[in-house]
Amino acid sequence: MKAASEVKRPYQSILRGAQAQSTREAVIAAAARLFAEDGYAATSIDAIAAAAGVSRATVFTSVGGKAKLLKTALDVAIVGDDEPIALPDRPLSKAIRAEPDPRKYLALYAELVTEIDGRLAGIHEAVRGAADVDPKARALWESHLEARKGGSRTPDFAATSWGGLP
């Protein structure tokens, strides 16, 4: 029989996981707000940490550096949360694609686009501005534009990460 010290189990705490997720959300929200208000170049990791009420190290461990924060803030603005579920796989997108009534289809689609645009406006401009000062942000901006173009070219909403008709 093994001694208690020999038994190796991974430590898992539902409470700790929820706290970590809450911290991550606070960091992402603070970064998105500061990027939108002050611009990417003028926003420091220290400012993001202060706005989120965490340490500088926590910003890096919970999300990452500025470029990763910018991408994550953009992704959250598009889909509405930090869950790893693509926009086409979300319930409203699926409901839109499944809707047989054209009027209801368009109403649902308008609801989705309005929802996304309301979240996206500030961070969209921050990403555009960041593209001029950071190569990683430039790649993010170009990728974002390509995804939007792809979405507008095809009625197959599922083929793109976002945009276009569902």
CA gap 75, 107 in Å, rounded? 24
Give the per-residue pLDDT at 163: 41
CB 137 within 8 A of CB 118: no
> What's the average model confidence in pLDDT over 60-69?
96
At 157 the pLDDT is 45
Q: Would you call 164 helix, strand, or coil by DSSP?
A: coil
pLDDT, tens digit (0-9, with 9 covering 90-100), for 85-143: 988 899 989 999 999 999 999 999 999 999 999 999 889 999 999 999 999 999 999 99
**Confidence band, pLDDT 50/70/90 cuts, at residue 161:** very low
Q: What per-residue string of b and e applies to 7-36 under the rule 16 or more CB within 10 Å gives b?
A: eeeeeeeeeeeeeeeebbbbbbebbbbbbb
In this predicted structure, what is the pLDDT of residue 5?
60
Which 3 state secondary structure label does DSSP give 80? coil
C-alpha dihedral, 93 to 94 to 99 to 102, nearest 10°: 30
Across 50-59, 78-87, 105-114, 148-157, the highest mean pLDDT is recorded for: 50-59
Neighbour tally for 125: CB within 10 Å: 14
Percent of the chain with pLDDT over 90: 69
Please tell me the predicted confidence (pLDDT) of residue 17.
85
9 pLDDT tier (thresholds 50, 70, 90): confident
What is the separation of C-alpha 38 from the centre of its chain, rounded to a whole number of angstroms?
19
Q: What is the mean pLDDT of the chain?
A: 87
pLDDT given at position 126: 95
| CATH number of the structural domain 13-159 | 1.10.357.10
- Residue 4, pLDDT above cutoff 70: no
Closest CA to 108 of 121, 126, 94: 94
Whole-structure pTM value: 0.79
More confident: 96 or 158: 96
For residue 72, pLDDT beyond 90: yes
Structure tokens at 133: 């000062």
Res 153 pLDDT > 70 = no
